[in-house]
């Protein structure tokens, strides 16, 4: 891993395409499974979904012996403390990350940013321009696709291609892929994306109910958590591990 801390965002201007879920899943996989030092700056003001998730996760660990044991074992066996989740807003997100870096004894390999789903929110464009890499989730929905292509093209035309920011790469990512949909549909969409000159990751993330599975009173295997990685039984077939590897290969070249 490079010595510099990389700033990475799963970002788009369309809600409901899984950017927050992907941020948590990839951050937790890299931190707890791959041994990397990760942090998240949650600047998705005002809901701060990841900061709220961390609070729920932490409260449950404190009140539930099953999760308390899991957290203890994770710390003692893997020497993995929970990664920090810093609450901020789009205008001050970069300063929040720099403060986190300056005040921590840990060198962070990657800081993920969770941003609002619109370029119109104050500070979003500035924060995005300071990312090293941006990954934009898309789905085979015309409204989602058009919105995300407009978002990506705007960043490409106004920031990346003119060298105004730090962005080294912007990649589209198929998310919520329905296995029942014909591959011809995706091929048609990808030809449009290719014409716009926007790269797209090879890995796709299937549409599955497991993405909603957080810590629970039934102690069923966890998929999405800020304190634990996705359970091995749920990672299989989710492509989260494959996506993590593809992203790492891109950002560490």
Q: Kindly give the confidence (pLDDT) of every residue in the chain, 253 residues in length, as a single tens digit, with 9 standing for 90 and above.
A: 447 999 999 999 877 778 999 999 999 999 999 999 999 999 998 899 999 999 999 999 999 999 999 999 998 988 889 999 999 999 999 999 999 999 999 999 999 999 987 777 789 999 999 999 999 999 888 888 899 999 999 999 889 988 889 999 999 999 988 876 667 788 888 998 999 899 999 999 998 777 778 888 889 899 999 999 999 999 988 999 999 999 999 999 8
**Distance of alpha carbon 114 from alpha carbon 40, whole angstroms:** 7
**Which residue in the block uniquely carries the two structure tokens 């009173």?**
217
Which string of b and e fits 6-39 if b means at least 16 CB within 10 Å?
A: bbbbbbbbbeebbbbbbbbbbbbbbbbbeebbbb
The reported pTM is 0.93
pLDDT value at residue 163: 85
pLDDT value at residue 13: 84
Within 8 A by CB and 6+ apart from 141, the residues are none
Provide the token pair at 241: 């591990």
Pair 18, 175: CB distance under 8 Å: yes
pLDDT value at residue 195: 92
Pair 140, 186: CB distance under 8 Å: yes
CA separation (Å) from 105 to 16, 37, 99, 101, 194? 36, 11, 12, 8, 43
């Amino acid at each position: 891993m490079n010595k510099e801390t990389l700033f990475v965002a799963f970002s788009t201007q369309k809600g409901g395409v899984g950017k927050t879920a992907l941020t948590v899943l990839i951050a937790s996989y890299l931190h707890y499974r791959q041994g990397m030092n990760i942090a998240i700056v949650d600047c998705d003001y005002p809901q701060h979904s990841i900061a709220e998730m961390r609070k729920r996760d932490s409260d449950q660990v404190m009140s539930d012996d099953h999760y308390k044991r899991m957290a203890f074992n994770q710390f003692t066996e893997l020497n993995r403390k929970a990664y920090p989740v810093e609450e901020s807003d789009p205008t001050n997100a970069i300063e929040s990350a720099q403060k986190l870096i300056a005040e921590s004894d840990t060198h962070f390999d990657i800081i993920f940013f969770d941003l609002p789903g619109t370029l119109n929110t104050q500070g979003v464009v500035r924060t995005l321009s300071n990312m090293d890499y941006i990954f934009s989730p898309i789905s085979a929905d015309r409204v989602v696709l058009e919105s995300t292509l407009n978002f990506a093209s705007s960043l490409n035309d106004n920031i990346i291609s003119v060298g105004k920011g730090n962005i080294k790469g912007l990649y589209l990512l198929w998310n919520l892929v329905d296995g029942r949909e014909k591959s011809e549909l995706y091929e048609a969409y990808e030809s449009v994306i290719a014409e716009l000159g926007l790269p797209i990751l090879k890995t796709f993330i299937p549409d599955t109910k497991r993405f909603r599975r957080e810590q629970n009173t039934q102690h069923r295997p966890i998929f999405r958590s800020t304190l634990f990685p996705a359970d091995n039984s749920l990672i299989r077939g989710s492509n989260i591990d494959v996506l993590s590897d593809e992203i790492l290969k891109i950002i560490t070249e």
